[in-house]
């Protein structure tokens, strides 16, 4: 899959919900955060960050390199946290599900803002909105990196 293909695909932030089947069958219930393992949720976050990086790399604005670097920093922190959680799991250290779910919930806010504004950035956006988008992305990417660096262990 090329970067252009990734950028054209819709960015799904609520990717954990199943689509109801059409036809005469009864639709399946919506999946919740309890239906997914921590690894699934971390993989989803990594995919969203990878898509955001691809979108930033296609920008033609002066902030392009800066935005790519802060998104890559968030992805690197996510990788470190994933390794930490995996090693603790292998060592048999139990993780408190309530704390882990609260942590994932907190991550969702800044991740949604970064991904949403990234999708809205385009050459046709006006200067005021472009500035607002850059500020929102920078602020929330820093918050996301901070949250990812503090796993509930």
Are 7 and 21 spatial neighbours (Cβ–Cβ below 8 Å)? no
- Mean pLDDT, to the nearest integer, of 21-36? 55
Quote the pLDDT of residue 21.
Answer: 43
Q: Cα 121 to the chain's mean position, in Å?
A: 17
In Å, what is the CA distance from 63 to each residue of 6, 98, 113, 117? 21, 38, 17, 14
Split at pLDDT 50, 70, 90, the class of 49 is very high
pLDDT digits (tens, 9 = 90+) for 54-65: 999 998 888 899
Q: What is the C-alpha separation between 71 and 56, in angstroms, rounded?
A: 9
What's this model's pTM, rounded to 2 decimal places? 0.72
What's the CATH class of domain 36-148? mainly alpha
Across all residues in the chain, what is the average pLDDT?
81
Residue 6 has pLDDT above 60, yes or no: no
The helix-helix angle for 127-148 and 97-120 (nearest 10°) equals 160
Domain boundaries, the chain: 36-148
* pLDDT tens, position by position, 84-118: 888 888 888 887 888 888 999 999 999 999 999 99
What pLDDT band is residue 78 in, cutting at 50, 70 and 90?
very high
**Arithmetic mean of pLDDT, 118-143:** 89
**Do 30 and 17 contact (CB within 8 A), yes or no?**
yes
To the nearest whole percent, how much of the chain has pLDDT over 90?
41
């Amino acid at each position: 899959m090329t970067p252009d293909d990734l950028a054209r695909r819709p960015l799904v932030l609520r990717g954990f919900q199943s689509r109801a089947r059409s036809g005469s069958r009864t639709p399946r219930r919506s999946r919740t955060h309890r239906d997914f393992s921590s690894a699934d949720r971390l993989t989803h976050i990594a995919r969203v960050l990878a898509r955001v990086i691809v979108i930033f790399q296609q920008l033609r604005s002066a902030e392009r390199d800066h935005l790519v670097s802060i998104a890559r920093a968030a992805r690197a922190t996510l990788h470190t946290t994933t390794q930490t959680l995996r090693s603790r799991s292998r060592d048999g250290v139990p993780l408190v599900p309530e704390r882990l779910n609260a942590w994932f919930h907190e991550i969702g806010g800044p991740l949604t803002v970064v991904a949403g504004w990234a999708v809205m950035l385009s050459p046709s956006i006006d200067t005021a909105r472009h500035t607002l988008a850059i500020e929102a992305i920078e602020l929330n990417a820093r918050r996301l990196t901070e949250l990812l660096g503090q796993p509930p262990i």
